[in-house]
Structure 1
Amino acid sequence: MKHNRSVLLKTLRLLTLVGACTAQFGHADEYTDVSQLVRANKFSEALTQVDSHLTAKPADPQMRFLKGVIQRNLNKTADAITTFTKLTEDYPELPEPYNNLAVLYAGQGQYDKARLALEMAIRTNPSYATAHENLGDVYARLASQAYNKALQLDSGNMVVPPKLALIREVFKPNLTNARPGAGTTVVAAAAPIATPAPAVSVPSAKPTQALTPAAALPTPTAVAVPAKPVPPVAVAATPTAKPAPAPATADAEKTVEAAVIAWAQAWSGKDMAGYLAAYSPDFDTPGKQSRSAWEKDRTDRITGKSRISVKLTELNIKVTGDEAVARFRQAYKADSLSVSSRKTLHLKKQGAGWLITREATGN
């Protein structure tokens, strides 16, 4: 059973910061220093620096999140659970603390608690892909427990063994297809911080906003620092000029980019008419909500903030016919919270414009 828990813990995705931490509000050096210490496996030193920072700024959600990740690396599971639990109490709108809390519970075999934590993460942010994936793994482990119990009560049941074998295959260690970072040191967790990169700035009507942490904490993507890629072996070939993108595709990409920027500007300005109009009537609402319920939820969340700021960087757009995919890093700030995360928008050409049909965080 202990081995099974270990395999599941490696399967579940714990949020981490890939790349140097950089923060706003003048703390860039502190976050970077802590991140570097963690990468060097100097967890005790990192924890000392985090505690020093929190003595002066005890409410800092980013540094508190980092502390939980460091505690986890030091095998101080109980302390890490306390840290993440307190974060969920102080910042219930952030999904990342719930996700990491679930990973810790799963590592202890407390799958019901892990399930509840992940369901809270998803309720907070229905498009949080990492939590959905982790919840699937936890459900599989709960199913395994139920099937084992069924066999104990009825050893002659011939239907259950094949189901158990299938689940065991899912959690079987696979060195070839292992998820990046499995079995490796967890790198400093990403706290909700902005990423320094030339950005497509979306000014807010009023200064502000939000970590959805899930917002406010780490970025919703995660795992350990990938190994340095091995340069490919060159194969002699006649060099050919790379064809320039067709003018029609280039024009479409510019139109999609304009639509994405307009969507972010409407969000920053709390312009609900413009924001909701950016979504297609066929938009895949999270959690299978009705369109009206989703619009009310978004309106309440956005207009309930005193100020919001949304900035997009690393914007990459791919157009295929009447469909497009826009991937970017989103720096979201609202009131006292801030978070940087990866986001993907799927759009479809409808009339002369491009409207959002689906969105996901953490891809």
Structure 2
Amino acid sequence: MAAPVYADEAQEVTRLLRAGQLDQAMSRADTFLASKPRDAQMRFLKGLILTEQSKTQDAVQVFLRLTEDYPELPEPYNNLAVLYAAQGQFDKARAALEMAIRTHPSYATAHENLGDVYSKLASQAYDKALQLDANNTTAQTKLALIRDLVGGGKTRPPATVAANNRPAATSPIQPAPAPAAPVSGPKPAIEPPKPQVVTDTAPNKSTPVAPAPAAASKVNDSEEIGSTVQSWAKAWSRQDTKSYLAFYGKDFDTPKGMSRSAWEQERRQRIEGKNKIEVQVEQLQIQQNGDKAVAKFRQNYKSDRLSTSSRKTLELQKSNGKWVIVEERSGN
């Protein structure tokens, strides 16, 4: 019965945060963390509360420690960068965003934020060039272009940290929000929190059948794709690494430019040896175009050390009569 209590408490803190009842939210978060000090979800929520309270240095410490304890989660790096940018520490913001992208190359918010940080750094450099040489027309032109790009030199407001329609600290980049709606189970309020890169599951064998109309064939393929995704999650939950890796095609686009062997070894290390792993696939949507398909869903991950919920996209291709994963992405 512990899981429902966990979920209810996280949802209540999120509700209080969205309602602007920051003191009450902080009180409940601190009470919860007194008994579960390493909980990633509640720690992230505490960082959001501190940010809303304009306690920037305290929020920095919360997100910084989260990056140390859970380096596989990109959202703490992103929100840390938001706070650094608000303080004008754009080099630190850049480094934090690069870590977020290194952790999850498909994290779109971090890529956009990094572009904004680079624009700010470039603006500062051109300003310095003009201080040294006011007649440098090239620097003047480039600076004008950058200021026009970011809106007349003014930093644009970030997305709301706690999704409550109130801007956080002034910065040119977007924080990761708390979830838009309560979720069931012990899941962190990070979107999209992803503890590890998922891989392909053992493909399903299809029984040869007589040719059918195209529409019926597409329905059957959609069912097979859905079955493949569910089987992939079950193999991960069983910690059956061999079956899990078998779901990935020969042309799978490994993250961070890793070799296939290095990536498989990393996956084994992250999957094997845990007391418990549970991976659930919810809200599965499939789009198919011939021998290619895209599966989008919410992935709920829970182990003995971490619980997360994130959006996941798998790109699949039919090869030798079975569907295999050729690319995967986390986030929006």
How would you bin the TM-score normalised by the shorter chain?
0.7 to 0.9
Per-residue deviation, 1:254: 0.9
Per-residue deviation, 1:321: 1.8
Distance 1:275 1:154, change over 3 A: farther
- TM-score, normalised with respect to structure 1: 0.73
Secondary structure (helix, strand or coil) at the match of 1:24 reads: helix
Distance 1:44 1:194, change over 3 A: closer
Distance 1:56 1:298, change over 3 A: closer
Kindly indicate whether residue 317 of structure 2 is the aligned counterpart of residue 348 of structure 1: yes
Which of 220, 228, 233 is equivalent to 2:192? 220
Partner of 1:310: 279
**What are the superposed Cα offsets for residues 45-98 of structure 1, whole Å, 9 maximum, x if unpaired?**
211222222233333221111111011111111111121122223333332222
8 Å CA contact retained: 1:195, 1:331: no
Secondary structure (helix, strand or coil) at the match of 2:184 reads: coil
Gaps of 5+ in 1: 1-22, 198-208, 222-244
Which of 41, 45, 51 is equivalent to 1:62? 41
8 Å CA contact retained: 2:11, 2:182: no
**What are the superposed Cα offsets for residues 153-205 of structure 1, whole Å, 9 maximum, x if unpaired?**
343333333433333233228xxx998659932699548x99339xxxxxxxx
Secondary structure (helix, strand or coil) at the match of 2:79 reads: helix
Distance in 2 (alpha carbons) for counterparts of 1:28 and 1:308: 18
Kindly indicate whether residue 172 of structure 2 is the aligned counterpart of residue 184 of structure 1: no
Equivalent positions of 1:31-42 (< 5 A) are 31-42=10-21
Distance in 2 (alpha carbons) for counterparts of 1:79 and 1:190: 18
**What are the superposed Cα offsets for residues 242-266 of structure 1, whole Å, 9 maximum, x if unpaired?**
xxx9322212211111121122122
Partner of 1:195: 183
8 Å CA contact retained: 2:274, 2:304: yes
Equivalent positions of 1:1-363 (< 5 A) are 24=3, 26-172=5-151, 181=160, 184-185=165-166, 190=178, 195-196=183-184, 218-220=190-192, 246-363=215-332
Distance 1:196 1:30, change over 3 A: closer
Distance in 2 (alpha carbons) for counterparts of 1:357 and 1:305: 27
Distance 1:336 1:313, change over 3 A: same
Aligned AA (2:330):
T
Distance in 1 (alpha carbons) for counterparts of 2:265 and 2:120: 36
Secondary structure (helix, strand or coil) at the match of 2:5 reads: coil
**Of the two structures, which has the highest relative contact order with CA contacts closer than 8 Å and spacing of 6 or more?**
1
Per-residue deviation, 1:217: 5.6
Distance 1:45 1:151, change over 3 A: same
8 Å CA contact retained: 2:39, 2:306: no
Aligned AA (1:284):
D
8 Å CA contact retained: 1:220, 1:341: yes
Aligned residues: 298
8 Å CA contact retained: 1:219, 1:339: no
Distance 1:168 1:26, change over 3 A: same
Distance in 2 (alpha carbons) for counterparts of 1:309 and 1:186: 36
Q: Which runs of 4+ in 1 moved over 6 A?
A: 177-180
8 Å CA contact retained: 1:194, 1:340: no
- Coordinate RMSD, CA, aligned: 3.1
Gaps of 5+ in 2: 169-175, 194-213
Aligned AA (2:191):
T
- TM-score, normalised with respect to structure 2: 0.79
Distance in 1 (alpha carbons) for counterparts of 2:125 and 2:3: 47
